[in-house]
Amino acid sequence: MLLCYVAISPLKSQHFLSHRPLALAASLFLLLRGSVTAQTPPAAPSPETQKRPAGTAIPAPAPPAISYSAVHVDGPYIAMTFDDGPSEKLTLQLLDILAADHIHATFFVIGQNAERAPEILQRAVREGHEIGNHSWSHPAFAKMSDAAVRREIQKTDDAIRAAIGHSPVLLRPPYGSITIRQKQWIHSEFGYRIILWDVDPLDWKRPGPTIVMNRIVRQTRPGSIILSHDIHPGTIKAMPETFDQLQARGFKFVTVSELIAMGKPMPPQEPRAESPSPVSSPAASPAMSVPPAASPAPSLTSP
């Protein structure tokens, strides 16, 4: 799992790598093989295979991934995601825009906002959108105790369930801040998949609707998970044209869970000499981002 992070953010890892020659060698290997879009939990031997006499073990299928920055899909499918709401005014405007364009999106809601406006979550679900957990108060998980993280997740899960009648199945950690170990225990305790992103327009810096739109349209690839925030007026203003441009390019919008369900195994690849250029894109987001899915990764091999 460590190697995923190293491979995902090679430019930001120079300092880290300089102290770990083995990690460097391994990460270079991964870089040569392409980018990683999903991570799997460690493959624990099942009791069945342990008991079987040597030589008769049946290889188990790869376990499902627990963490996604993008999904390897066959068609032009993408998932639009909106974080940090619901916002009384802006989320309702956005729902109108989405309805007009017949687009389904995924909302990663803050628990305390969800508790204040359960009717917005209800409307979103009624109109075909998905709700995910984005913590109760938006802290950086990687710096927190397990007990504190658990409280943030549980309270939000409770608020979402109270609003829409069921728990979400997706979690997006605020700032993308989460350790590999946290991903694993959160997945086994809550059953959540951890959803990051591969397209980041940095809309929280409020660069203006045109720049938000241009960044999204430029970075989006089949299987992309697009990050944005339904608490910034400029983001909402950017959406009608963003949706038009993406649809004009043939992209089709699905929820994150639908995108994951469309995921195909990565074809095996020979090591190659070049790594994809988007790694160094100025718009690339923090450590968790991966380059767009244009360069299929060699499957979910990371332990």
**Residues with catalytic roles:** 83, 229
Binding site for Zn ion (CB under 5 A): 83-84, 174
Instruction: Select 149 or 279, whichever has its Cβ closest to Zn ion.
Output: 149
User: Closest separation between CB of residue 94 and Zn ion, Å?
Assistant: 15
Instruction: Select 152 or 295, whichever has its Cβ closest to Zn ion.
Output: 152
Instruction: Select 111 or 223, whichever has its Cβ closest to Zn ion.
Output: 111
DSSP designation for 106: E
Instruction: Select 37 or 81, whichever has its Cβ closest to Zn ion.
Output: 81
The secondary element (H helix, E strand) that includes residue 250 is none
Q: Determine contact, residues 161/167, Cβ cutoff 8 Å.
A: yes
DSSP 25-83: HHHHHHHHH----EE----PPPHHHHHSPTT-PPPPPPPPPSEESB---SSSEEEEEEE
User: Closest separation between CB of residue 209 and Zn ion, Å?
Assistant: 20
User: Closest separation between CB of residue 180 and Zn ion, Å?
Assistant: 20
Distance CA 227, CA 290 (A): 13
Q: Which residue is nearest to Zn ion (CB)?
A: 83
Question: Token pair of 63, please?
Answer: 């376990």
User: Closest separation between CB of residue 195 and Zn ion, Å?
Assistant: 12
**Among candidate residues 83, 121, 80, 86, the one with its CA nearest the CA of residue 104:** 80
